[in-house]
């Protein structure tokens, strides 16, 4: 009987650990989005890894941490950054649960967007290492979108 209980515990343990991580990681990402909506740059940058990278929606928007903070600071200084409302976040983990990645739907001023991120478990806790913001567009609207982008040239 003890062996069966031990076997079930060993099977369930990774799921329990990941569930605990998911709650913690959701809190970190939710607070990160909230800090932007409140234009709190110190809180916004706190969960970023030293190797943080942000991909924005415009061509050429690929920033390492310091460059992204420099880009963001004027928005935060004006008291109005961005307000992303996340939903439907889905998490995945590597085998030893030291790297987690997620995607989420976002309601923004740009309407529907998607965010995707990577978090790493570092010595001082979980950190956001990468975030990619994408504007969503339906496949049947791509041709019109391409025409719109090309008309600006």
Q: How high is the pLDDT of residue 31?
A: 97
Render each residue's pLDDT in the chain as its tens digit; 153 residues.
656 554 545 544 454 457 778 999 999 999 999 999 999 999 999 999 999 999 999 999 999 999 999 999 999 999 989 999 999 999 999 999 999 999 999 999 999 899 999 999 999 999 999 999 999 999 999 999 889 888 866
Q: Can you tell me the distance from the alpha carbon of 91 to that of 99, in angstroms, rounded to the nearest whole number?
A: 10
- Residues forming a β-bridge with 106: 86, 113
Q: Can you tell me the distance from the alpha carbon of 69 to that of 65, in angstroms, rounded to the nearest whole number?
A: 6
Domain of 25, CATH number, reads 3.10.450.50
Residues 6+ apart with CB under 8 A from 65: 45, 48, 49, 50, 51, 52, 53
Q: How high is the pLDDT of residue 100?
A: 97
Helix (H) or strand (E) holding 95: none
Cβ atoms of residues 90 and 103 within 8 Å: yes
Q: How high is the pLDDT of residue 3?
A: 62
Residue numbers of the domain that contains 104: 2-151
Could you give the number of structural domains in the chain? 1
Q: How high is the pLDDT of residue 52?
A: 98
Q: How many CB atoms lie within 10 A of CB 98?
A: 12
């Amino acid at each position: 009987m003890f062996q069966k209980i031990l076997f079930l515990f060993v099977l369930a343990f990774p799921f329990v650990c990941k569930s605990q991580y998911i709650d913690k990681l959701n809190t970190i990402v939710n607070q990160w989005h909230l800090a932007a909506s409140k234009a709190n740059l110190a809180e916004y940058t706190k969960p970023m890894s030293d190797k943080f990278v942000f991909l924005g929606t415009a061509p050429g928007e690929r920033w390492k941490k310091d460059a992204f903070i420099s880009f963001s600071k004027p928005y935060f200084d004006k008291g109005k950054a961005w307000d992303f409302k996340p939903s439907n976040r889905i998490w995945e983990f590597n085998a030893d649960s030291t790297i987690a990645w997620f995607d989420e739907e976002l309601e923004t001023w740009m309407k529907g967007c998607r965010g995707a991120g990577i978090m790493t478990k570092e010595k001082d806790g979980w950190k956001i290492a990468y975030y990619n913001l994408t504007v969503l567009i339906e496949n049947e609207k791509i041709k019109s979108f391409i025409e719109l982008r090309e008309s600006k040239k």
